[in-house]
Amino acid sequence: MNTEVLTQAANQARGLAIDAIHKAGIGHLGLPLGCAEIGAALFGEALSFNPSAPRWINRDRFVLSAGHGSMFLYAWLHLSGYDLSMEDIRQFRQLHSKTPGHPEFRETDGVEATTGPLGQGVGNAVGMATSLKIAEETYNTAEHEIINSRVVCLAGDGCLQEGVAMEASAFAGHNKLDNLILIYDSNDVTLDAQAEETQSEDTAARYEAIGFEVATIDGHDIQKFLSTFGQLRASKNGKPKLLIVKTVVGKGIQEVEGTWKAHGEGGAKFAESARKSLGLPEESFFVSDTVRSAFKERKSALEAAYAEWQKTFQAWQGANPELAKQLKEAKVDQRPDAETVLSWIPEFEKGKKMATRAAAGEVLQPVAAQLPRMNTGSADLFGSTKNYIKDAGEFTPENLTGRNIRYGIREHAMGAITNGFAYDGLWIASGATFLTFSDYMRPSVRLAALSKLPVFHFFTHDSVGVGEDGPTHQPVETTSALRLIPDLDVIRPADGEETAAAVALAISRTDGPTALILSRQNLPDLSVTSAADRRNGTLKGGYVLRAEKAELKGIVIATGSEVHVALEAAEKLGDGYRVVSLPCFEIFDRQPQDYRESVLPSSCSRRVGIEAGVSGLWFRYVGSAGKVVGIDRFGLSAPGDLVLKHLGMHADQVIETMQAI
Ligand SMILES: Cc1ncc(C[n+]2csc(CCOP(=O)(O)OP(=O)(O)O)c2C)c(N)n1
Ligand SMILES: [Mg+2]
């Protein structure tokens, strides 16, 4: 497309944003208007993609980290010929539209990631760039290059102010992800104020210092953008790229442009005069025939390039049937089922005491051997989180297929990067840290749940049982806090067999994330029932671990490290007492009513729940007549077994509590 047409397209995309936001009465005009030339250059020329095959493996991934500028993305996806009609644009921000307020993965073709919480998209893009680097190394051969795409991320001042972006960028620089092009919309404005009120750093120097190649240009100069972008794209120098584009926020609405008032919908009331000054007709939601046909031609050209690629791909497939099979299975929603995964995991030695973190590490080995697609990582805690895949190497720029990723002490970036892996779908990613520090990555875990991403994490050191490190490292509220996130499965297994099932559940899940909550301290194995029963019970979220041997008098419900305490209490209480192990509330809640009733019969209201954490959520299972032995305070620095005892995590406390009902 020539510059003339691209300029017209930019102005018409501005018109679409103005009209959609004017119609909705709400939205963010600043970015779609300020970045209109960048959109024209990217979607009209620079990016490689196929609107008819939006998940084409060799597409350039475009992530709008500044998700508030969603109308930017919708306008360009529409013009490019994705499945996003003008009617969809008219429905901007309306119920069940394909054009929600912020871009949502799975809702709209061409939306690569759910963005809006600033900075997350940068982390996701770094994850996608990592994913593609591994894919290049895994799948390209000397004869055939089937993957050579780039990840392009548009971020604003807000994204780059957020810590997660800096964590992720440092990871990208360290790992030499030169397939990443981060475009920084530097418009000197944020939501509330001119940017100078809150930032004074030299962003170019900051990024140069962490190993990026940096260029700065006028973001309204289409030709300059195309030539610079082209150079950066071609430069395989081991440096990720930062392209700083100086733009005028809200450009085209003279009343507000260049000021923070242009950030949101403030300018929309000037729609009429703005349309005029942009050279647009009075007709709203206008796209000229010239622009339409130019984008139609562009789509044909993209499809032709895709067809060319298909030829290479066919040849590659013929020459590499094993790799082709692996790649075919590498889809975001493609996972082995839990029973299959469990069949790979041998039973644990009976009677052996073991921490569930150690059990998870053992379970991981045969699973990883069966699933070459799987990698894992830790936030500088492999030695403690135990999720290292043995003999599988470490991911480094020189060893891209190493399956253990050192995320550094960057929990938040780890969350966002693993989400990036999951959005891309090629690899099965997981991370690990101490449960207490899952708080540092909570925003990314929440987005994984919202976007239904099959990613999972090993959260170890799961209670005051951590011991001497003290209350800073002893989670009490964290497991419950994670349970509050909708669509996140939180699994706290009690022994090796439950851990095997927990890992199998995490691997097999296709429609959301899983948090594995694992103990630091050794736990006895629960061989009161068979390994198969414990595994199958865990697959249902909860089960009767010890059945009553006489008329039912009471039920003790527990998770993880407190299940053996519950067992001991029930033994002492007598034959009429049942123990229910409830490793996963969410999965148990999804079981049919008759199963749940068989585990927790409503006729029995004498129930005690025990968990080394805050008690609030437990009343759902013990009911108003029941009681909870929990820890509704912060912990203490002392040996773990003493702290657990001191805070009531012992059989006598359970017995006393049951007897008081
Ligand atoms: C984590 C997070 N905090 C706050 C917000 C609310 N918010 C949305 S946009 C924005 C300002 C962003 O500034 P910038 O990235 O420069 O965007 P511009 O105004 O230039 O479009 C804020 C504070 C958010 N979306 N995410
Ligand atoms: Mg800004």
Shortest-distance ligand to the CA of residue 161: 1
The whole-number pLDDT of residue 167 equals 98
Shortest-distance ligand to the CA of residue 35: 1
Q: What is the mean pLDDT of residues 553-558?
A: 98
CA dist 387 and 381 (Å) reads 9
Q: Among residues 37, 411, 497, 548, which one is catalytic? A: 411
Q: Residue 332: pLDDT band by 50, 70, 90 thresholds? A: confident
Asked whether 116 lines ligand 1 (CB < 6 A), one says yes
Q: What is the mean pLDDT of residues 54-64?
A: 98
What the block records as the tokens of 222 is 């289409």
Q: How much distance in Å is there from the Cα of 390 to the middle of ligand 1?
A: 42
Region of 220 please: left (phi>0), alpha (psi -120 to 50) or beta.
Answer: alpha
Closest-lying ligand 1 atom to the alpha carbon of residue 69: 21
Integer CA distances (angstroms), 406 to 181, 259, 394, 396, 454, in order: 22, 42, 8, 9, 20
Q: What is the mean pLDDT of residues 302-317?
A: 98
Asked whether 604 lines ligand 1 (CB < 6 A), one says no
Predicted confidence (pLDDT) at residue 419 exceeds the cutoff of 90: yes
Told to judge if 213 belongs to the known catalytic residues of this protein, a careful annotator would answer: no
Closest CA to 309 of 111, 59, 142: 59
Asked whether 412 lines ligand 1 (CB < 6 A), one says no
Q: What is the mean pLDDT of residues 312-322?
A: 97
Q: Residue 329: pLDDT band by 50, 70, 90 thresholds? A: confident
Closest-lying ligand 1 atom to the alpha carbon of residue 117: 26
Asked whether 263 lines ligand 1 (CB < 6 A), one says yes
How crowded is residue 566: how many other Cβ atoms within 10 Å of its Cβ? 30
- Determine which residue's CA is closest to atom 13 belonging to ligand 1: 190
The whole-number pLDDT of residue 331 equals 85
Q: How does pLDDT run across 388-407, given as a tens digit for each residue? A: 999 999 999 999 999 999 99
Query: Do residues 419 and 453 make contact, with C-beta atoms less than 8 angstroms apart?
Result: yes
The whole-number pLDDT of residue 514 equals 98
Query: How many Å separate Cα 145 from the centre of its chain?
Result: 29
Tell me which of 182, 259, 263 to substitute to probe ligand 1's pocket, judged by most ligand atoms within 8 Å of the beta carbon: 263
The whole-number pLDDT of residue 518 equals 98
Asked whether 67 lines ligand 1 (CB < 6 A), one says no
Closest-lying ligand 1 atom to the alpha carbon of residue 162: 1
Could you tell me the pTM of the whole model?
0.98
Asked whether 416 lines ligand 1 (CB < 6 A), one says no
Query: How many Å separate Cα 281 from the centre of its chain?
Result: 42
Tell me which of 68, 167, 245 to substitute to probe ligand 1's pocket, judged by most ligand atoms within 8 Å of the beta carbon: 68
Q: What percent of the chain has pLDDT over 70?
A: 100
Q: Residue 590: pLDDT band by 50, 70, 90 thresholds? A: very high
- Determine which residue's CA is closest to atom 12 belonging to ligand 1: 158
Asked whether 267 lines ligand 1 (CB < 6 A), one says no
Q: Let me know how long the chain is.
A: 661
Q: What is the mean pLDDT of residues 158-162?
A: 98
The whole-number pLDDT of residue 112 equals 98
* Average pLDDT of the residues of the chain: 97
Predicted confidence (pLDDT) at residue 231 exceeds the cutoff of 90: yes
